[in-house]
Structure 1
């Protein structure tokens, strides 16, 4: 009698991220998409010499500032347009309506410094009306005024995407504002001038003019490196980083990959991408890469505390909670908008 050999057991890893946030690899179903970005690989090492880089000794900054912003659409509204055609009968006119977004958004900064530890340094929040309707005006409510931002119409772009982009621009501007105010506030902390490091949660686009600033990208949807070097990223040990490279899409920046401390698992578990300005010398970019490698792992989150661990850094997670609290109760805000629309 022939006895079949037991089938080999399938090995698998569970993505630690809460599925409601997607995945740390955003195109997980189809793999990371290839990029059309222009990449210069020899900023730090020649491509043939690329290898994981271990941490090095660096001087710690006087303070680390973590900047983040949150946004929430409170309601989609329709703004009536002036009559677009003459009346076909007495008292009858042809009217059009444009969709718009009423949204709340907030940004803030957490300071991590030797004397006071991690503490909230600056915070600001706004409410806005985002639309292509040229007759739009501010919407006052009992819960605050939604300031009108009129965006030029673009027939080639989906309206929802157009308005969402306008909202994101306003949020980015607010993040720049709170970051600038945070550095001003550091003068009362006894921190030497120009000795802080600014870490922006998300790409650095629109903020590359900020000195000593890093963009911190938690998830990955595009493979920017050639296949052999892209595969090398999965071999990084916790605390190791890739060499620095220069990347150009619609904007230019220096970039590198870093693996944060995490439970062994999926090939890209704990991998983040860091960015800094393209117009600084290569040596300065490498210095920032070494600094990020020494500092950021200590702020990595832990799985049982955060469903986006380890990429959702602990100070950023706390800042997100505080920012969402400042947005207000969405039920009350929706009710205030309905009351305003009826008055």
Structure 2
């Protein structure tokens, strides 16, 4: 019996989910690139030079209750702030720049309300049609995803790679885009193919496999350096649009395997190392600062609706 200590700070959960990591019902095609699965070491592939990384952060500033005056309990809503930005890394020059980030605030409720101005900001109304907490949360995530797409489009297309945090759903039309998934919540591969992930070394990847509905895409796993400890430590899943040819997908997969290790974080710099890439960690810290003081916003909301 062996025990492993997960490299992630326990406040962020685990990189390899436990109880909820059940076999996925998504249709999987494993012989896209090769039928004889084995670790893939890219050949003489030059790493990407200009990389753009897109991420967003969100925060619930307050929960609100709406009383219509009609019989029945009040309905739940949330006031949330969310922000998205792009960090551009030039690996040859060793530089990183933050493109203009966007910040929005909104009231997510069952019905449309008037906008609520507070000190230095305004909460727009986003009607969800329900006060179910799960649907309110999904509404926040949808608006954040829209904001991430906007900042990515504004950043331009003069890059070698565009990396978005999370699955590609709704963002596959962006140029040379890869989805970057650092937490494994579903088991996509059958056991025989999963064993290949277990033996990956830094800079290696699995062969490409195809994921079907609800949204098709091509995917592969990459091993980052410094992932000692728990099973699949340092393993990330990467995906690209399903519309690409196999040759185009292989080129992107090889490019990701030689480039992503350069961006991997270290435990003393990031509690989710090495999967939370260094530029992403810096971007998240900057975006959280732009969200403003949560206590001040909470107090301003109480005064505004009093």
TM over 0.5: yes
The match for 2:53 is: 66
Alignment of 1:137-216 (within 5 A): 137-153=114-130, 159-183=132-156, 193=158, 195-216=159-180
The match for 2:95 is: 117
Residues 1-44 of structure 1: CA deviation (Å, up to 9, x unaligned): xxxxxxxxx642210101110000122xx483111110111110
Alignment of 1:260-339 (within 5 A): 260-339=224-303
Q: Contact 2:162–2:178 (CA<8 Å) still a contact in 1?
A: yes
The match for 1:132 is: 110
Which secondary structure state, in structure 1, belongs to the residue aligned with residue 99 of structure 2? Answer: strand
Residues 214-264 of structure 1: CA deviation (Å, up to 9, x unaligned): 011011111101111112211111111000111023111100001100143
Q: Contact 2:227–2:235 (CA<8 Å) still a contact in 1?
A: no
- In the alignment, structure 1 segments of 5+ residues that lack a partner are 1-9, 85-93, 185-192
Residues 269-324 of structure 1: CA deviation (Å, up to 9, x unaligned): 10000011111112111111001001000000011221111001000000000000
Do residues 12 (structure 1) and 3 (structure 2) align? yes
Q: Contact 1:79–1:133 (CA<8 Å) still a contact in 2?
A: no
Question: Which has the larger Rg?
Answer: 1
Given candidates 55, 60, 63, the residue that maps to 2:42 is 55
Q: Contact 2:48–2:259 (CA<8 Å) still a contact in 1?
A: no
1:267 CA drift (Å): 2.5
The match for 1:43 is: 32
RMSD of equivalent CA atoms: 1.7
CA distance in 1, matches of 2:73, 2:117: 23
Residues 197-223 of structure 1: CA deviation (Å, up to 9, x unaligned): 100111111101112000110111111
CA distance in 2, matches of 1:297, 1:20: 24
Q: 1:180 to 1:31 in 2, by over 3 A?
A: closer
Q: Contact 2:86–2:101 (CA<8 Å) still a contact in 1?
A: yes
1:96 CA drift (Å): 5.0
Q: Contact 1:64–1:197 (CA<8 Å) still a contact in 2?
A: yes
- In the alignment, structure 2 segments of 5+ residues that lack a partner are none
Q: How many residue pairs end up in the alignment?
A: 305
